[in-house]
Amino acid sequence: MNTLVTDTQSSFKWFILATATFVTMLYAMNVTIASIALSDMRGAMGATQDQISWVVTGNIVATAIFTPFAGWLTSRIQIRTILIFSVLGFIISSIFCGLSNSLEEIVISRVAQGVFGAPLPPLSQTLVLAAFPVKQRSLAMAIWGMGTILGPVIAPTIGGYLGELLDWRWIFYTLVPFGFCALFAVIAVVPKKPVVGGVSLDWIGFLALASSVAALQIMFDRGERNSWFESTETIIECGVAILGFYIFIFHSLTSKRPFINLLIFKDRNYTVGLILIFFFGMLNFVPMVIFPPLLQELRGYPQSIIGLILGIRGIGTFLGFFIIAFTGRVDPRIIIFFGFFIQAISGYYMSTFDINMSFSNIAWASLVQGLGVGLTWPPVSVICFATLSNKYHGEATAMFHLIRNIGSSFFISVSVAVVLHMGQVNFEEIGSMVSIWNQGINFNNLTNTLNELNITKLTNELNRQSLMVGYIDAFRLYSWVAFLSIPLIFLIKIQKKD
């Protein structure tokens, strides 16, 4: 891709960087802000935990499916125009999220948010890569990544207090003023650039990829409810996912103008970077989806406290980015190693929680996890595009964010399934021991007391303890995923500088 800012003053690139960062922050706010009110929305709409998780995963899946569109759109429409319409559509869909009265309405509105928000990160990243020379990209990408930090800090904090004082709908209305600020910044700063020829859209490749991603996500979201492969629905969804992916790969190899040019995967660092960003996506958003129901339903924390905890995670990410700014001469593989290692340690620490965990325990876990995110994101982003030709930046950034979003939505569904499945298994195991035939109860002369207990209260407490074990298992899985990603770092090839 040709440099977008060749005829402007060198100082103007910093305005472009600031605008791209703010637009990315708007997208990050959208992803994280719904997490703090999942329990309230679940109660208001009579949904189960796996159903209400679609408020988050539906948005991420829509973003994943429509992110590759960004590369095709830039070949036909100015980036400035795309950003204006995307931000405007994002504002309108955010308003409809707040006006929703049913699970179907909120999910559709969140999907619309994902569709309009999909072009924001890749196009913002494309602007930054085009505006800065290679020697300044590491710094520029670190600053651009601040948008992914400020969003998770601002959105949960403000949204949590407004949601507690007013209503859960206000967490979505919070996005509206930020959306208008982003819209004005795009209009004022992003330059107009002539579009050199349009590229026809490969509908076969797009539909094959979209159907594969959608079927895979639905399979993981509904798998636990349908008893996995004991259900015909799960088998059909798995078949559609495999068939769609096969058609996408085969068509991309044989088509002259595929939806995604597979030549970009010949770049070793880019391919390894995509695998790492897939693992990063798996680790990034899961705590923000798991923590709110854990804290609100098992510990009774209000939305304001949950928002504060998620904000602390953002502070940890900010600290990681701050450290990155002073490690320009350090081998990026070392930084990425510590980033994933710290996330693995945070997952292990969270797996040691019990039902009486304190605010300080949760805050420290969030801070450390955020620190790992901050150390991982900038170097992986830089490594991924370090040796890739500029002409592939448009579709390469789209694929970069597509893979990250697929990783996020996939692991969110898996983690929720682990919580629900292990919670049910442990409920049956623990419940079987609460009996008058239990020798421990007889020994303590508690048989009569057991008969007089309120069965509802006993069942609720057993459910709390069982779900806590399910959350612990999910955190343990989180830790293992972070550890398993570390060996991939050694596949990165660092070129010697002159």
Write the pLDDT tens digit of every residue in 316-329.
Answer: 888 887 888 777 67
What CA–CA distance (Å, rounded) separates 307 from 320? 20
Give the C-alpha separation, 243 to 246, whole Å: 5
Considering only residues 460 and 464, tell me which one the structure prediction assigns the higher pLDDT.
Answer: 464
Backbone phi, psi, residue 435, to 5°: -150, 155
Q: What pLDDT, on the 0 to 100 scale, is given for residue 91?
A: 92
Q: How far apart are CA 408 and CA 286, in angstroms?
A: 7
Which of 137-151, 188-202, 256-270, 363-377 has the highest mean predicted lDDT (pLDDT)? Answer: 363-377
Task: Say how far apart CA 299 and CA 358 lie, in whole Å.
Answer: 9
Degrees, nearest 5: CA angle 324-327-331: 110
Contact call for residues 344 and 375 (beta carbons, < 8 A): no
Range 213-225 average pLDDT: 76
pLDDT at residue 345, rounded to an integer: 92
Residue with the larger pLDDT of the pair 487 and 409: 487
In this prediction, residue 89 carries a pLDDT of 92
Give 295's DSSP letter.
Answer: I
pLDDT level of residue 3 (50, 70, 90 thresholds): very low
Residue 49: the pLDDT is 66
- How far apart, in Å, do the first and last CA atoms of the chain sit? 25
CB count in 10 Å sphere of residue 299: 17
- Residue 454 clears pLDDT 70, i.e. is over it: no
The residue type at 483 = F
Q: How does residue 180 score in pLDDT terms, banded at 50, 70 and 90?
A: very high
* Mean predicted lDDT score pLDDT of the chain: 79
Residue 268 scores a pLDDT above 60: yes
Asked if the model's pLDDT at residue 250 lies above 70, the reply is yes
Contacts of 191 (CB under 8 A, 6+ apart): 4, 5, 8, 16, 80
Q: Which residue has the tokens 């103008």?
A: 257
Instruction: Give φ, ψ of 325 to 5 degrees.
Output: -60, -20
pLDDT the model gives residue 477: 92
Distance CA 30, CA 151 (A): 8
Contact predicate 145/17, CB 8 Å: no
pLDDT bin (cut points 50, 70, 90) of residue 4 is very low
Quick: pLDDT tens for 82-140: 889 999 999 999 899 888 888 888 889 888 988 898 888 888 888 887 787 777 776 77
Q: Which residue has the tokens 């579709």?
A: 395
Task: Look up residue 132 and give its DSSP letter.
Answer: S
pLDDT at 467 over 80: yes
Number of H helices, E strands in the chain: 23, 0
Q: Tell me, what amino acid is at 466?
A: S
Of 241, 174, 189, nearest to 8 by C-alpha is 189
From the list 4, 147, 172, the residue with the least C-alpha distance to 82 is: 4
Encode pLDDT of 326-381 as tens digits.
Answer: 776 778 888 899 999 999 999 899 888 888 888 888 888 888 988 988 888 888 88
Q: How many CB atoms lie within 10 A of CB 278?
A: 20
Q: For 21, how many CA atoms within 13 A lie in the half-sphere containing its CB?
A: 17
If you ran DSSP here, which 8-state letter would residue 9 be given?
A: -
- Name the token pair of 132: 């800065």
pLDDT at 483: 92
Q: Inter-axis angle of helices 393-433 and 54-66, to 10 degrees? A: 160
* 2 or 46: which leads in pLDDT: 46
What does the alpha-carbon distance between residue 319 and residue 368 come to, in Å, rounded to a whole number? 10
Predicted pLDDT at 351: 87
For residue 1, is pLDDT > 50?
A: no
Q: Is 333 exposed, middle or buried (0-12, 13-18, 19+ CB in 10 A)?
A: middle
Least confident among 111-115, 220-224, 248-252, 274-278: 220-224
Mean pLDDT along residues 431-455? 55
Which amino acid is present at 494?
I
- Half-sphere exposure in the Cβ direction for 286 (13 Å, CA): 34
Instruction: Give the mean model confidence (pLDDT) for residues 282-298.
Output: 80
Concatenated DSSP letters of 137-205: HHHHHHHHTHHHHHHHHHHHHHHHHHHHHT-TTHHHHTHHHHHHHHHHHHHHHSPP----------HHH
Say if CB 369 and CB 343 are below 8 A apart. yes
**Full-model pTM:** 0.75
Closest CA to 221 of 4, 459, 415, 462: 415
**Can you give the pLDDT at residue 497?**
47
Closest CA to 75 of 179, 195, 192: 195
**Comparing 72-86, 139-153, 468-482, which segment has the lowest mean pLDDT?**
139-153
Question: What pLDDT does residue 340 have?
Answer: 92
- 161-170: average pLDDT: 78
Where on the phi/psi map is residue 197: left (φ > 0), alpha (ψ -120 to 50), or beta?
left
pLDDT of residue 7: 42
Please list, in sequence order, all residues whose beta carbon lies within 8 angstroms of the beta carbon of residue 107, skipping any fewer than 6 positions away: 54, 55, 58
**What is residue 2's predicted lDDT score, i.e. its pLDDT?**
44
Task: Give the whole-angstrom CA distance, residue 395 versus residue 126.
Answer: 10
User: Among 153-157, 267-271, 309-313, 410-414, which stretch is predicted with the lowest mean pLDDT?
Assistant: 153-157
**Secondary structure class of 307 (helix, strand, coil):** helix
Instruction: With CA atoms as reference, report the closest residue to 399 among 216, 214, 243, 213.
Output: 213
Overall average pLDDT of the 16-32 stretch: 83
